[in-house]
Each structure stands twice: as structure tokens, then as C-alpha cells.
Amino acid sequence: MTPDDKPQIAQDMKSQTEGSMIEISSLDNILRDIDSGEINELAVVAEGEEKTTWFVWILVMCCTISGLLFGYDTGVISGALVTIGSDLGPLALSNGQKELITSSTTLGALLGGLVAGVLSDWTGRRLVLGVADVIFIAGAITQAVCHTVWSMIGGRFLIGIGVGLAACIAPLYIQELSPTRLRGRMVVLNVVMITLGQVIAYGIGAGFSNVTGGWRWMVGLGAVPAALQIVFLFFLPESPRILLRRGDKAAAHAIMKKIYAFAKPEEVDLKIKVLHITVKRSVEITESTTFFQRFKSMVLDPVNRRALIVGCGMQAFQQLCGFNTLMYYSATLFKEIGFNQPTAVGLIVSGTNFIFTLVALTWIDKIGRRKIMVWSAPGMVFGLTFASISFHFLTKKTGGDLVDGTTYSTTWSALVLLSMILFVASYAAGLGNVPWQQGELFSLEVRGIGTSLATATNWAGNLLIGATYLSLMAKITPAGAFGFYAGLCLLGWIFVLACFPETAGLSLEEVKLVFRDGFGIKKSYELRQRKKEIRAREKVRKEDSVVAEQVKEAKMLE
């Protein structure tokens, strides 16, 4: 920041403070934050931040097609695996071939996620989503026309790259285009679309389960929403932060006016000014350091390191809990325990996931990310423990192993399904969406690197779980496997209690303040409380002002 910037920003903040009587505890603290590259948005709260314009809704819904594709292409393989039969050469796919087909998607997503954030810092968020769509289309067509196991693996790998790009960039793009107070809810909409995509995948899988070659339609239909999003991307704006990095202040201002349509012009101007200072600081850091130096700062800088630990830790927790094994193998599992329509039963699980993600959509910004995680994680531990016990009694007569074709107790089979529903409901309410708020943990100059590393952690965990699930079930029995996942969930819950701060209601620029001293669990609540107090005082001031104006008018009439 140049020496001339600070007095100008101070004067603008002072003018807003005097004009709208917004109470700020200390202007010096705000200016100190600007000097360090951070903006305390307590000074620039705009009217109507809690309201969402049609512009934001349309923009977010177009972005969330990426989530729909993510959900569809990861969920559709469950139904496809039980209907492929001998279409790929072998009379039936072996467990090893199923794991290869499934894990190839995850390997592609790991590579895509690893480069997505860094690539988007260079090209912009919108272009990366377009590249992901092209890859989705190529992968869907490759799968639909393949006739060998290895060509199927190649198609799934392509899909995985698209999933990795979309999973990283869609939440980040939405976060940077959403009002502060609604940012969590907007990102959860992407997760809602992921779960909706899984529901659609299971529904289409059930519809084509008895059609010869129906699995080709299942995987090929994934090209349709990708093609739609490519068209929509021509009409979507770039992130204001990316536009400011490119020096296009006019375009960024125009977008911010649409995002904060209910704010006063001077409030939008001030938001742009403080955002510009942050971006300017980020550009200065980027231009004065190499990519390798910024990458090292993720580990060596205590603030970045704590953010990275939280981001990667939450993504690891999301995958190591074992949830995605249900998405990939639920139809196979339910077929083995005796259900006649396994894909249709899997639809119950994906439907539960969708419904309880809507619960998170409603409450994530009101209750907060941390509280949702603290309350929902024990439900996951209980559900998986219940599943382990149910599998133990279900498979007693077969020595603890699941033997395809065996007639199992319908009571214990039903209890297995119930345990899965309890686990999935708890997962969807918290862990299924909270880790994807990862973009808000990192400052702008390392946001691409941080989100890439966190997303790569997600897919590395997914690869580990997806590639070992069937083998783990065979080695330590289903009861042992689900008991193992329950233990990992317990460790994840302890991690949340110890390290995960509350970020709801804090601006993207404020979140970094949380990690200055430790993991900031107490600091995050203090920041949130300060913002609530300021808003409460401003509300009272406005009410008093209205009353005073009414009294004045009454006296004039007298």
C-alpha cells in the first residue's frame, strides 16, 4: 500500500462513519489491518447484506451445475458396476477391476484438484470451469462407447480430472461472488447440487437397470449438463477479486453493485476500495515472490500453516469417514445383503443425503460451521458403530464375510440400511458440506495454492478409501471395516473440537485474522460477537432516528 492510500481510506471510512453513524471500536485498528494486508470489514458493513438478489441466485445456480456433474459422475458408477455384466470383455468384473474403475476417477480428481486453484489464479475462475465441462463431455462419451475394461478406466480417469477441477473451483468462485453473510449458504447450494446429482444418478441407474446396455446411457447422459454450463459460462462474470488483480476496477465495481444491490452507493464504493487494497497487497506479494516461495509459505508462515492444517484436516476427515464407499459401492453392498433392487435401495441413501444437505443449507450461516460439525459428527460415529454391530450379527452364519447369493436375515439387513441412513443424515448435515468452505480459510495471494492442496487431500483420501474398501471388507469383514471407519470418525470429531474455528459471518479478508494466534477458536467467536454488537447498535440508532424524525414531523404539523 502506498503512503497516500492510508489517509484516503481513513477519510472514506470516517465519512461513512459520520454519515451513517456506524459505530467502530477503533479506526486505528482497522488501518493497522490494512497496513498488514488485511481488511476489517466491520468498517464496511453494507445495508441489505442478508438479502440475495436475483443476480446472485442466477449466478450461483449456473455455477452449481458443476456440483451436479460432480455428484452425477461419482454416483452413477454404483449402478453401472452391477449392470455392466460381460459388456467389457470378462464374464463379470472382479473386485480388483471394480476398484480400478472406481479409483481411476479419484486419481483423476486428485490431479485435477491439485492444479485447479493455482491454474484459476492465472486464468480466472470461469475459464477453469469451462475446461472442466469440456473434460466432462469427453469422459462421458469415452465411457458410453468403450468395450474394454481399460478404456472404461480411461473414461473414468477423464471424468475424474473434470470432477477435481469443478470440486475445487466452483465453491471458490461462489464464495468470491456471494455477500459475506450468505457465503456459507451459497456454497452449500453447490453441495446440494452434488447430492441432487447423486440422486439423479441413482434414479437413472434404477430406470436403466433392466435395459440391455443401459449402463452406457447412465454414463453418457453426464455430457448434457456439462454442455449446458458451457453455454451459461459465456454470460457469467469473472470474480471481482480476479478482475481487480487484472486492474479492471470498473468491471469489478459493476459486479459488486449487483451483488450488494440494496446497499448505498457510498457503501459499495467503500467495499470496492478496501477490497482493492487487499488485492493490491496480494499482487505486491505475488510479484515480489516466486510460486515456490508462496508454496513454502503455506508451511513456514504460521498463519498459512494453521489454515492449511484446518483445510486439509477437514477434507481428510470427509473422505476417511468412508462415506464415498457408499456412493461407489452401495448397490453392490445392498445386492450382497439380499435386496432385490439394490440400485433402488441405494436411492434411499442418496435421497437422505440430499434431504439433510438442505438442512445444512438452511442453518449453516445461522448456527455456524463449527457448531454444525460438533453436533453432527457424533451421529456419524453412532451410525457406523450401529452398522458394525448389525453386520456382525447379519454375517454370523457365513463366518463374518458377505457371500453373494446367501439368504440373510431381513431384520438385520433392514438394520444395516437404517444404520446407513443415520450415518448419511449426520454426514450430510455437517461434514458433507463444511469442508468445501475451504476457500474462506486462505488469504488471496495463497488462496489458489491452499484450495488446491486441500482439494488434493480430499481426493487422496477418496482414492485410499475407494481403492481399499472391497479388499478391507474381505480382509477384516464388513463389521470390522465399518468399526474401523467409526474409529476414524471419532478422531475427526476430536480434530474439529481442537482445531476448527468458526468462520460464519466473517468476511474472506477477516478469516485470516483468526489464525494469527493459534487456531483461533476463541478469536473467531470474539470477531463474530463484535460484528453482532455493531449491527445491533446500528439497528437501534436507525430506529431512534426514525422516531426522532416522526417526532419532528409531528411538531411541525402542530
10 Å CB burial of residue 287 (0-12, 13-18, 19+) is exposed
Rounded CA-CA distance 310/457 in Å is 11
Q: Tell me if residue 82 falls in helix, strand or coil.
A: coil
Rounded CA-CA distance 265/15 in Å is 13
Q: Would you place residue 486 in the very low, low, confident or very high pLDDT band (cuts 50, 70, 90)?
A: very high
Does residue 415 surpass a pLDDT of 80? yes
CB 294 within 8 A of CB 442: no
Q: Would you place residue 317 in the very low, low, confident or very high pLDDT band (cuts 50, 70, 90)?
A: very high
Q: Tell me the per-residue pLDDT of 329-368, one tens digit each, with 9 for 90 and over.
A: 777 788 888 787 777 777 888 888 888 988 887 787 778 8
Give the CA distances from residue 205 to residues 67, 97, 155, 292, 301, in Å, rounded to whole numbers and listed in that order: 19, 20, 18, 45, 48
CB 220 within 8 A of CB 142: no
- Residue showing cell 441432487: 196
Mean pLDDT of 3-28: 44
- The pLDDT mean for the chain works out to 80
Mean pLDDT of 477-498: 94
Residue 538 CB neighbour total at 10 angstroms: 16
CB 88 within 8 A of CB 149: yes
Whole-model pTM? 0.71
Sign (positive or negative) of CA dihedral 113, 118, 119, 120: positive
Does residue 254 surpass a pLDDT of 70? yes
Q: Tell me the per-residue pLDDT of 512-539, one tens digit each, with 9 for 90 and over.
A: 778 888 888 888 878 777 777 776 776 7
Mean pLDDT of 226-252: 86
Furthest CA-CA distance within the chain: 95
**Lowest-confidence range among 257-266, 424-433, 514-523, 535-544?**
535-544
pLDDT of residue 48: 53
Q: Which overall architecture, per CATH, does domain 292-519 show? A: Up-down Bundle (1.20)
Residue 50 CB neighbour total at 10 angstroms: 12
Where helices occur in 260-368 by DSSP H, the ranges are 265-288, 291-300, 302-320, 323-336, 342-367
Report long-range pairs for 23-31 (Cβ below 8 Å, ≥24 apart).
23/534, 23/537, 23/538, 23/541, 24/534, 25/530, 31/6
Amino acid identity, position 379: G
Query: Which has more pLDDT, 514 or 30?
Result: 514
pLDDT of residue 28: 42
CB 46 within 8 A of CB 263: yes
Mean pLDDT of 407-418: 88
Q: What stretch(es) of the chain map to CATH 1.20.1250.20?
A: 46-236, 292-519
**CA neighbor of 330 nearest in space, from 182, 478, 188, 483:** 478
* Topology at the third CATH level for domain 46-236: Growth Hormone; Chain: A; (1.20.1250)
Considering 143-157, 329-343, 393-407, 537-551, the range whose residues carry the highest mean pLDDT is 143-157
